[in-house]
Each structure stands twice: as C-alpha cells, then as structure tokens.
Chain A
C-alpha cells in the first residue's frame, strides 16, 4: 500500500493569529478521509496548510514521499485539486469553467485549447451531470449545480488527491447524498483519494474510511468512524450532549442531538 500524504508534527497558521500545531497523520492511497471538529478548530487552516496557501511553520508535509513545499505550483496543481465551499460565480460558461481545470497541463504559451483537453472536460461534465448546462453562465446555476461543475473542473486536473472544503453544507439532502455517492464512485473507480471537511457527523460516518477529529488547532482523535465517533469524543470536542447509535443498514455510527429541555426532563446534568 502506497503512502499518499504524510504530515509529521506539522504546524502552520496566520500571522499573529490562529495556528494549528503538532499535526501528524498518514494516509494511504485511495483513502476517503473526513476532517471533523467544531467551528474554529482548525479544519480549514489544516487544508490551507496542505494546499500550500499558508507557509509551513514546522514539521513537514510529504506527498508521495516528496516534500510538498519543493513542488512548483504547477506540479502541485497536477497532484492536488481543491474544491472550496463556495464557487466563484463570475460570468463564465460552465464549459469554460470546467476547462480551467486543464490549466496545469497547458504548455507555457499555448493559446487555444487542445481537442484532448476539451474531450476530458466533456467526459467529466457528463460524469457530474453538468454537460447539459455547458453553455450556461456559472452565475445562473443553483448551488448544487455549481458544486458539480467545480468537481468536474477539479477532476480535469487529474489529481491524485481531492480536497473538499465543506462541499455539502449548503445542499439539501438529495444533493448531499448525490454528491457523496459521486465522491464514493470516484474513490472506487479512479482510486482517487479524498479529504473532506464535513460538518454532518452522520454523513462523515457513512462515507469516510478514516476520520480526523480536531479541537483547538490539534488532532483530538483519528481513526475509523467507529472509533472516533463515540459519544465521549463528540461530547468532549463539541461540548454537546449526543446519542450515538448504529445505522442498521450500513453498520456505521449515527449521531443524534438531544435538546436541553429533554435533558432537564430526564434529569441528566
């Protein structure tokens, strides 16, 4: 099994501001990883550290056994694709937007798009069901459609690792599940490794092989969903009372919140 991404005692952060410290984990190729934790726990900072948007303070990030900071931006863009929470809704057609994903493969002074690049873009647009929207402006699409277009664009980068920052948080359950199923399919068929920040713990448990739970800029727990999503861990990290049960169909943990009134009625402190 090949190691894809290894962080050794990694620290990074903003100038005189928040930082994450002592992050160590190692992911094997093809892992579907979820990063969970309350707001402000450092999930996005960790992403920005991996993507190179924030400079490394100490420790290292190894990608396929090479130090990530030694790769050029272009090489990095051929290995890692990032999908942010919100897509830039500029006046650009879906097809042009998806084609942008081929940017890391353009020759320095290549003026026109190659037929091969257009074929790749069309392929991923069909896979994400955005081909029918190809001549529409990105700004006219719904949130879910924009998300799909940005996945198509990211896939055009032909990455080994896909970073997703809360991709489902503003989608309804239909689109959430559709999206996660697509990710799972890509993970199975293309052996694409995925790391996603996710707020919905049940969704994380259902789809991820490996979870990293963060608190106050550090890793609190990491491991399989069954081991990480215990009610003790969740109550400690989120400071919220929950009940964890097992999904009878998938056998994965399901997290239920409990209201304060109910707790009072049951006399649980």
Chain B
C-alpha cells in the first residue's frame, strides 16, 4: 500500500472515532439524549433537550475538541523541535505560571470586576513563564534543552510555593475557586471564548503544517537540518511561539489539564510513525478524542456531579502510558522521537 493511502486511512479512522465520541458526548449526561433523536431535537428549538444540547453539551464538546487537540499538537511539536521525549507544555513549567497568575487574580479579587480577567491572568502567567524559561535557557545564543527542562521544573516549584503562600493568606471562599480552576474543566459558558479557542486551534494546526517538512528534517538534528537547507533557528522559534500561544490559550480557557500533551503524541507515534506529515494531524485528532472521552467519564462517573477533568486525564493517561511502556515489544518504540 502506498504511504498516501495508509495516511488517508489513518485520518479517516481518527475522524470516525472523533465522530463517535462527539455523538457519545452529546447523548450521555444527566438527561440522556439518544443519538438518533439529535437531529430532531436540534430542529425543535422549544424543547428542553434543545437547551441542554445547544447551551451545555455542544459548547463543552467543542471545547474538548479544541483544547485536547491543541495540547496534544503543542506537545507533539515541542517534542519534535527539542527532540526530547519529556518536553511538553506542562513540564516546561507553563501550567505552574498560569496557575499562579490565576491564583493571584482570585486572591486580588479581580474576577469580581470582570470574569474574563481570570483567563487573561492565566494567559499572562503562562506567557511570563514561557518567556522566562526561554531566555534563561539561552546559553551563548543556543538553546539547551536540559537547561530548559530544569528551569521549567524549578519555575513549577517556585510557582506552587507562591500559590500555597497566597492560598494561606486568602479568605476560605477563594480557595475553592482556585482549586477548581487548577484542576481544569471544560465547563465554560462564554461562547465567544469557545469559538475563539476552536478557531485558534484549527488555525495553529494549519500553520504548523507549513513547517511540517522542516520539522521532519529536525528529527535528524538542528545541524543536519541546516545542511539540508532548512533555517533551523527560525523554524524552532516560530513553532515555539505557536505552541506557547496554544498552551496559554488552553490554560486560560480550560485551566490546568495535564498529560494530554505528553502522553498522546507518544501513543500516536507508536501507531502512525514519526513522520510529522501524519503525526501532527493524528496527534491533534487523538488529543481531541482523548479529552472528549475523559470529559464524558468526568461527567458520568459521579453524575449528577462531575469530577475535575484534570483528575481523569492524569489517571487514564498515566495508566495507559505505563501499560504501554511495560509491554516489551512496544517499549522499544516508545519515547523515541
């Protein structure tokens, strides 16, 4: 079979799986909606089910699609440009910075002024961290990945200490808000923000495809890529900015949802290989599928209440990863960039 055909089948499979989880996500919940009835309900704007679908489940599913895809795409790109299996938005300390930003905003009472200040604070926190990690890791103009990981871990520690400090001095009612935000959720009511997130994720996926061959060449190392005519430095910088925007936006909208960016690209690589032409879109779609699935679990497991989605992604992602890692024939392939 030709490569084109195999790739086409992969994308098709992912799209089918995505459609299935989307339908599941729309029908499962406190009020069950049989999937056969969905078109009929959407036509009848008066029914209660229409409200549930249109105002709760569709936005939530869209957000799961966008955030899951974005985080996974960001992880795949970062692992590619730094050729290190551990680099992902969260190991670089970005989530720590974002959480600190949000904690600060809640403690200062900024969310009472305007609820949109909260995601903004998260975004600023994420970007400050990215900037810090990036500039501190530059050594004689060259970026050292090990330094970057270490500085990321240190910044995470500092952020979490500062957060605990803020939490210890603030009023008790603020703590619940902080904790809930840190644990992440797809429960977002602002439709404009959801729309922006969906558009951003797809635009970033398309932009990343402009750099897909340079990314492929970077698999052989920065120097080798340059010898093949690729401007490695420019490519890495642009892709780093894209991943930063994606991560910042995801954290701002959904809070801290870990593990997607680390685990999904590795699992995808096992199946589709490490050619970025198929890897990027597969990572995006698998991330979407994974996060929507986790959201279904988070909603269904203790219905009518819901668990924070970060709990589910951490447990499911971590367990699946360890299982794959300990299966002998897969182990040799896993963690290979």
Q: Which of A's residues lie within 8 Å of B, judged by CB? A: 15, 51, 53, 72-78, 81-82, 84, 88, 90-92, 96-97, 100-101, 103-104, 106, 109-112, 139, 157
Bound complex: CA A51 to CA B223 (Å): 10
Q: Is the CB of A88 within 8 A of B229?
A: no
Bound complex: CA A81 to CA B224 (Å): 10
Bound complex: CA A84 to CA B213 (Å): 21
Point out the residues of chain A lying under 8 angstroms from B228, CB to CB: 77, 100-101, 103-104, 157
Q: Is the CB of A77 within 8 A of B336?
A: no
Bound complex: CA A143 to CA B124 (Å): 49
Q: Is the CB of A103 within 8 A of B140?
A: no
Cβ of B14 to closest chain A Cβ, rounded Å: 18
Say whether B192 faces chain A, with CB atoms less than 8 Å apart. no
Add 20 more A-B contacts to A51-B227, A73-B229, A103-B217 (CB < 8 A). A53-B223, A73-B226, A75-B229, A84-B223, A84-B224, A88-B221, A90-B336, A90-B337, A91-B333, A92-B219, A92-B274, A96-B275, A100-B216, A100-B228, A103-B229, A104-B228, A104-B229, A110-B213, A112-B4, A157-B228
- Considering residues A51, A74, A84, A92, which has the most beta carbons from chain B within 10 angstroms of its beta carbon? A92
Point out the residues of chain B lying under 8 angstroms from A74, CB to CB: 229
Bound complex: CA A104 to CA B4 (Å): 22
Bound complex: CA A101 to CA B221 (Å): 14
Point out the residues of chain A lying under 8 angstroms from B140, CB to CB: 15
Bound complex: CA A213 to CA B216 (Å): 37
Say whether B111 faces chain A, with CB atoms less than 8 Å apart. no
User: Contacts A100-B220, A103-B217; is A91 near B336 (CB within 8 Å)?
Assistant: yes
Q: Is the CB of B275 within 8 A of A109?
A: no
Q: Is the CB of A82 within 8 A of B227?
A: yes
Bound complex: CA A109 to CA B217 (Å): 14
Point out the residues of chain A lying under 8 angstroms from B221, CB to CB: 88
Say whether B113 faces chain A, with CB atoms less than 8 Å apart. no
Q: Is the CB of A109 within 8 A of B210?
A: yes
Point out the residues of chain B lying under 8 angstroms from A100, CB to CB: 216-217, 220, 228
Q: Is the CB of B224 within 8 A of A76?
A: no
Q: Is the CB of A88 within 8 A of B224?
A: yes
Say whether B230 faces chain A, with CB atoms less than 8 Å apart. yes
Bound complex: CA A73 to CA B232 (Å): 10
Give the 4 A-B CB pairs with smallest separation, nearest first: A77-B229, A74-B229, A104-B229, A103-B228
Say whether B147 faces chain A, with CB atoms less than 8 Å apart. no
Point out the residues of chain A lying under 8 angstroms from B216, CB to CB: 100
User: Contacts A90-B219, A92-B274, A96-B275; is A73 near B231 (CB within 8 Å)?
Assistant: yes
A52 (CB) vs chain B CBs: closest residue: B226
Contacts of B212-242 to chain A: CB distance below 8 A: 212-213, 216-217, 219-221, 223-224, 226-231
Cβ of A155 to closest chain B Cβ, rounded Å: 13
Q: Is the CB of A81 within 8 A of B217?
A: no
Point out the residues of chain B lying under 8 angstroms from A88, CB to CB: 219-221, 224
Point out the residues of chain B lying under 8 angstroms from A109, CB to CB: 210
Contacts of B312-337 to chain A: CB distance below 8 A: 333, 336-337
Point out the residues of chain A lying under 8 angstroms from B226, CB to CB: 53, 73
Cβ of B221 to closest chain A Cβ, rounded Å: 5
A-B contact list, 18 entries, CB within 8 Å:
A72-B229, A73-B226, A73-B229, A73-B231, A75-B229, A77-B227, A84-B223, A84-B224, A88-B219, A88-B220, A90-B337, A92-B220, A100-B216, A100-B217, A101-B228, A103-B213, A103-B217, A110-B213
Bound complex: CA A91 to CA B277 (Å): 15
Point out the residues of chain A lying under 8 angstroms from B229, CB to CB: 72-78, 103-104
Q: Is the CB of B227 within 8 A of A81?
A: yes
Q: Is the CB of B224 within 8 A of A103?
A: no
Cβ of B279 to closest chain A Cβ, rounded Å: 12
Contacts of B226-278 to chain A: CB distance below 8 A: 226-231, 274-275, 277
- Considering residues B217, B220, B226, which has the most beta carbons from chain A within 10 angstroms of its beta carbon? B220
Cβ of A149 to closest chain B Cβ, rounded Å: 12
- Considering residues A15, A78, A82, which has the most beta carbons from chain B within 10 angstroms of its beta carbon? A82
Bound complex: CA A112 to CA B4 (Å): 8
B274 (CB) vs chain A CBs: closest residue: A91
Bound complex: CA A53 to CA B222 (Å): 11
Point out the residues of chain B lying under 8 angstroms from A73, CB to CB: 226, 229-231
Q: Mark B77-120, 1 if CB is under 8 A from A, else 0.
A: 00000010000000000000000000000000000000000000
Cβ of A175 to closest chain B Cβ, rounded Å: 22
Q: Is the CB of B220 within 8 A of A90?
A: yes
Point out the residues of chain A lying under 8 angstroms from B336, CB to CB: 90-91, 139
